[in-house]
Structure 1
Amino acid sequence: MSLIVSLVLPVAGLLAGCNGDKSGDSGGVDDDSGDTGVTAVDPNHDDLSMPAEPTLDPDSFTSAAECADCHPDHYAQWSRSMHAYAMVDPVYQALVGIRQADLDGTQDQFCTQCHSAIGTRGGEIVPGFSFEDLSPIVMEGITCEACHKVARIDRVYNSGHVLDPEGPIRGPLTDPEPSSFHNAAGMEYSDIFESAEFCGACHDVVEISGLPLERPYEEWTTSPGRDEGQTCQTCHMPESSGYAATDTSTVRTLHDHSFVGVDVPLLGGWATPDEVEQIRARIEELLATAATVSLSLPDQVVAGEQLDVVVDIRNDISAHNLPTGSTFLRQVWLEVIATDALGTRLYATGDLDANGDLRDYWSSLDQYGDDDLISLSSGFIDAHGQPTLFSHLATEHTSHALSPLYERTYTLFVPTEGAAPGPITVSARLRLRPFPPYLLRLLELDELIDKLEIYDLDAVVGEVSVVPSE
């Protein structure tokens, strides 16, 4: 079986991934192994986000639990968000542990500079640190004042925000009302809270080697969404009307603090089953308009001859790539299955092995068993030219993502030998999974695998009549 791929829009840059190049071109996405214009930071410290000596006192920050007294709705949203989950996430902790072991703790601040800026700048993240030894405010992760004490953005990557723990509470309200709780430091309007730069300061990540890892902000800067006035907050902090605090009668424009993306908490007890279902429903709502899959089939095929199946995938997101963020962890792939009139499978790509993994390099049961696999995810290559899961070992980062509003066309060849009389049914769906099962097994987190969700971004079904050969 073979595969032909073409792009609807011509773009520059040929990508090759660990599974071989099936894209023919990048769909507007550049290979991340090239020059980024970003100078690699000192592996041991960075004056802004990974200081060698503490630059603030963690005790000067207020716990989110205290904010809940006046802002119960904001707190309830945040408390089940990935921001609150940032330091307790078992997957994150396991990945940090591998980096610690590989590098003898010399780069322990790299991941925590965003996951807990307070702890990293406050001197608690020392070489060989243990999560069990960190203070409660540090384990709150991206807590309220980790954002609302930001004075300015000095760079739009790697925790590029300047924290001002003794300064006022800052936010997007132009006319904040006086509050006895905030009187000591005061409150102040800041336009950075409505900017994409505010989010990009942490969500764009460059490895210590200089290799770009996550680039949603960089993608946004050249996107149609930016031209339309969209920011990260437009989708990930949607607006509503209500009261910003319990002690006010002023109706405000509020922003949701659930920060919905594609993740649900996997840690047992972190959220109730009902809360997890609510998060999943929000994710499905967010993804409902993310992509379109189109299927082009002939009206008929002669029995025994090859059936050409043409599939188009379009990224309907106007502000960033599909996928974006931690694309080296995210799985986005196309499943195409063809069956005859009796339900016998004639062809499949994008199906899963018995472990629930794609049949690619990382499958322990059927490595490279899916020659036609169409994946939009990215992958790391190490100095020996081998795939790796870990960014600190990577020298290349190759992406197959679709740029905003781009479309890519794939042609698949389905054999029809032995097909039963009657129509052939072809189904295609674009699927997304936050983590692959093989990663959780590698991290010895097998018990979390059953909690992984697969989301279908779009699906389509078509039929082809089979006519007898002459």
Structure 2
Amino acid sequence: MDPTGDELNQETTQRSWRLPAAAWRLEPFAARAAQRQSRPVTAEQLRAQLRLATTPQHVSVAKNFQPAIGHQNVASPHHVGETSRPTDDVLEADLLGGSSLGGEDDLLGGEVSDPLTDPLMNLGPSSEASDHGVELADDPHANLWTENCYPSAESCRACHPVQYEQWRASGHAYASVSPMFQRFDQAMTEYTEGTVGSFCVRCHSPVQTQLKIPRSTSILDAPPVVREGVTCIACHRINEHYWRSNGDRRIVPGDLHAPVYGGSGGAGVARAVANADSLKLKLNSDDTSPGQAIHREGRFFLPLTNSDVCVSCHQVAVHPGIWLEVVHAQYRSGPAAERGITCQQCHMGAVPGKPLGYELNHVASLNDKPWGEKRKQSNHQFWGPGFSIAHPGLFPHHPKADRYTPREWLKFDYRAGWGTEAFERTVDATMVFPAPWDTPDDRRDARKIIDANLAKLQQKRSAATQTMEAALKIEGPLMRHAPQVGQPFRFSYRIHNVSEGHNLPTGSLGAQPQLWLNVALIDPDGRRVWESGYLDRHGDLADMNSVDVATGCVPRDADLFNLQTKFLINNVRGTDREAALPLNFSLDQLVFLRPGAIPVSVLNHPPLIRMEAHSIPPCDSRTAHYTVPASVIRKRGTYRLSVRMRSRTEPIYFMRQIESTPDMIQRMLGNTLDLHPQSHSIRVR
């Protein structure tokens, strides 16, 4: 009797899931940990054993060291790329820290870490671990084994090129390779002495979690499917509904031919499989004939058709009970859920941020030809406000980028124009480039990938602006009295959240996205005489988190309208104060993240820490009030009020606390979104 399809799938899964010799194994780490339990260890020893990326403390630099922002890696014209270490990304850059973009000494007089020290020098398995064969990168068969269990998006691209092209620049594709995520997760691990566990990685890198790749392993050395973050199989190889599981979901292991789960039932796949010979399709890994490999079955999975599939990662709480993602709870209590509008309709529909239907298209291509009838096609760009600050050789994902390793990409100085005709005409024999960029052909090939990715990033940025503007309306200026010379000028703007789905802003509150109103008054001579929502010289808003405000360099912005949600702690005793990280900083020697001793339901928030929300609920509004002092209204004539909402995914002071590189901060500042910019003329008598 021939085995059934389910039996074949089960047999394939069991065969492919056997752990090879080179797979990640925790036994060596556990054995060493057991040996150390017999003697107490200090916090520094514990951190060293966990092999976290800590910058050596014995190295310091001159007090006046102050690299130029965005150019700290520029070499002399006659020695390119060798004498300076790549500082383009946190994944292989120096962590200057400090209190300013330039990375100089902090306000307390502490010394800055050596900018030429690689922060990843302490990352990765130790030599002792290497003896046990846990370094996956050393085994030439390792990536093949990983692909047989967890196929990458590159494998799915053959049949689904449209979905791949949409996904490769999306927030899901960016989840793992994001420098901000890597720094945030590293900082949380160090601050909590490892007690945060796999909380962050479970959502951002589900394949890494399931492969049990140690936290100490650099993302640069992980298998390609790990760098894909929330890749195809993270949603389409899930066959159980996990609800609020804090990102803890199980991907069903299996090769490319194993079943996938979707919202249509797989009728198109069944027709293709029935005509496999005429279509030249390969249905199992043993088939070596020419043709296109596909999965043998498509199965219907109800949660993928509604908002339930989003909840496990978009409604999460970290100990001691702080909700870092609250968007699903906001959605469930909002008008969109009551009307039956799903998350997918706004974030995967035809129009960014609006439930206006889906595009109709062929869902798959077989041998470069559209297959089946046109039907609803969900957009896998996942419309949202995020943007990338990673090196464009690493992100967006590109099918030809795997010609070079991630570490090689980080050495490619795309800002200097490498690979462009203008630059290559200036290259002479005295210039030295790091391998593999020491040949003109490689530089030109890499430039084509870089240019394609930069164009894709610009599309993503435009879509992010469109998504935010779809939910936002600025009403005003609203004035009770006409402005007069020598009198204070009072006015207001009303900010509307016209979305029915969730609060504005929302998303990952752990990163505390900022959305603020920037208003400026220009006098009849064209001079800006007053402003609110301005930035200090470090890129921070002029509030209590600004170093320049604290040191008296810039005045505090008393009229600031900022919709950022913040963490408040009382540090065991005392009044509430703002904190950049979701940690209830206890006074213990080790800051452990632990469940609260008092039920959250009693206090309505965990002990010692709570969140202060400033966001606007769906279909609601808030009013920003402003007062321009009489001293700046000196002339009669026509004044101009210019206004815009500004959005960025992380505050700059937060980035400094987790030791983001100056280049990361510069990219965050450069990618700030300007929403609904407008000007209004006002007559002053």
Query: Shorter-chain-normalised TM-score: which range?
Result: 0.7 to 0.9
| Letter aligned with residue 150 of structure 1 | I
What is the CA–CA distance in structure 2 between the aligned matches of 1:184 and 1:71, rounded to whole Å? 12
User: 3-state DSSP class of the match of 1:335?
Assistant: strand
What is the CA–CA distance in structure 1 between the aligned matches of 2:248 and 2:197, rounded to whole Å? 17
Matches within 5 A, 1:163-312: 163-165=251-253, 168-174=259-265, 175-178=267-270, 179=273, 180-181=282-283, 186-238=297-349, 239-247=358-366, 248-268=371-391, 269=393, 270-271=395-396, 272-295=453-476, 296-298=478-480, 300-312=482-494
The superposition leaves residues 239-297 of structure 1 with CA deviations (integer Å, 9 ceiling, x where unpaired) of 21111111223222111111231122211122421111111121122223221111212
The superposition leaves residues 98-150 of structure 1 with CA deviations (integer Å, 9 ceiling, x where unpaired) of 12222232323010111122222332245x45434533333321111111011
Matches within 5 A, 1:338-349: 338-349=521-532
Preserved CA contact (<8 Å) 2:559 2:625: no
Structure 2 CA distance for partners of 1:464 and 1:278, relative to 1, 3 Å: closer
| Letter aligned with residue 211 of structure 2 | G
Please say if 1:464 is aligned against 2:575: no
Structure 2 CA distance for partners of 1:102 and 1:181, relative to 1, 3 Å: farther
Give the counterpart of 2:234 among 140, 143, 146.
Answer: 146
Aligned to 1:111: 200
Preserved CA contact (<8 Å) 1:287 1:457: yes
Preserved CA contact (<8 Å) 2:514 2:651: yes
Aligned to 1:73: 162
The superposition leaves residues 416-451 of structure 1 with CA deviations (integer Å, 9 ceiling, x where unpaired) of 335222133323322212223334444232112333
Aligned to 1:21: none
Preserved CA contact (<8 Å) 2:497 2:617: yes
Aligned to 1:123: 212
Instruction: After superposing the two structures, state which structure 1 stretch, 159-168 or 189-198, moved more.
Output: 159-168
Please say if 1:316 is aligned against 2:498: yes
Structure 2 CA distance for partners of 1:316 and 1:181, relative to 1, 3 Å: farther
What is the CA–CA distance in structure 1 between the aligned matches of 2:315 and 2:492, rounded to whole Å? 35
Cα shift at 1:62: 1.4
| Letter aligned with residue 177 of structure 1 | V
What is the CA–CA distance in structure 1 between the aligned matches of 2:616 and 2:222, rounded to whole Å? 40
Please say if 1:433 is aligned against 2:544: no
Matches within 5 A, 1:51-90: 60-90=149-179
Give 5+ residue unaligned stretches, structure 2.
1-144, 274-281, 285-293, 350-357, 397-452, 586-608
Cα shift at 1:165: 2.9
What is the CA–CA distance in structure 1 between the aligned matches of 2:218 and 2:317, rounded to whole Å? 24
What is the CA–CA distance in structure 2 between the aligned matches of 1:231 and 1:405, rounded to whole Å? 17
Structure 2 CA distance for partners of 1:181 and 1:72, relative to 1, 3 Å: farther
What is the CA–CA distance in structure 2 between the aligned matches of 1:181 and 1:78, rounded to whole Å? 25
What is the CA–CA distance in structure 1 between the aligned matches of 2:545 and 2:245, rounded to whole Å? 30
User: 3-state DSSP class of the match of 1:375?
Assistant: coil
What is the CA–CA distance in structure 1 between the aligned matches of 2:249 and 2:212, rounded to whole Å? 17
Normalised to the residue count of structure 2, the TM-score between the two structures is: 0.56
Q: Hey, which of these two has a bigger chunk of strand by percent?
A: 1
Please say if 1:408 is aligned against 2:622: yes
Preserved CA contact (<8 Å) 1:148 1:171: yes
What is the CA–CA distance in structure 1 between the aligned matches of 2:638 and 2:492, rounded to whole Å? 17
Please say if 1:372 is aligned against 2:571: no
What is the CA–CA distance in structure 2 between the aligned matches of 1:286 and 1:136, rounded to whole Å? 30
Preserved CA contact (<8 Å) 1:290 1:457: no
What is the CA–CA distance in structure 1 between the aligned matches of 2:387 and 2:181, rounded to whole Å? 13
Preserved CA contact (<8 Å) 2:269 2:296: no
Higher relative contact order (CA 8 A, sep 6+): 1
What is the CA–CA distance in structure 2 between the aligned matches of 1:111 and 1:426, rounded to whole Å? 43
Preserved CA contact (<8 Å) 2:260 2:295: no
What is the CA–CA distance in structure 2 between the aligned matches of 1:370 and 1:98, rounded to whole Å? 29
Preserved CA contact (<8 Å) 2:315 2:325: yes
Cα shift at 1:190: 1.6
What is the CA–CA distance in structure 2 between the aligned matches of 1:160 and 1:320, rounded to whole Å? 24
Aligned to 2:541: 358
Normalised to the residue count of structure 1, the TM-score between the two structures is: 0.81
Cα shift at 1:173: 1.3
Instruction: After superposing the two structures, state which structure 1 stretch, 156-165 or 412-421, moved more.
Output: 156-165
The alignment of Structure 1 onto Structure 2 pairs a total of residues equal to 410
Preserved CA contact (<8 Å) 1:292 1:457: no
The superposition leaves residues 147-193 of structure 1 with CA deviations (integer Å, 9 ceiling, x where unpaired) of 10111222235115453335731001133422454887621112211
Preserved CA contact (<8 Å) 2:485 2:635: no
Preserved CA contact (<8 Å) 2:173 2:230: yes
Cα shift at 1:354: 2.3
Give the counterpart of 1:445 among 636, 661, 670.
Answer: 661
User: 3-state DSSP class of the match of 2:496?
Assistant: strand
Preserved CA contact (<8 Å) 1:336 1:428: yes
User: 3-state DSSP class of the match of 1:391?
Assistant: coil
What is the CA–CA distance in structure 1 between the aligned matches of 2:214 and 2:321, rounded to whole Å? 22
Instruction: After superposing the two structures, state which structure 1 stretch, 177-186 or 253-262, moved more.
Output: 177-186
Bigger Rg, structure 1 or 2: 2
What is the CA–CA distance in structure 1 between the aligned matches of 2:676 and 2:246, rounded to whole Å? 33
Instruction: After superposing the two structures, state which structure 1 stretch, 356-365 or 99-108, moved more.
Output: 99-108
Preserved CA contact (<8 Å) 1:146 1:163: yes
What is the CA–CA distance in structure 2 between the aligned matches of 1:258 and 1:184, rounded to whole Å? 23
**What is the root-mean-square deviation of aligned Cα atoms in Å?**
2.4
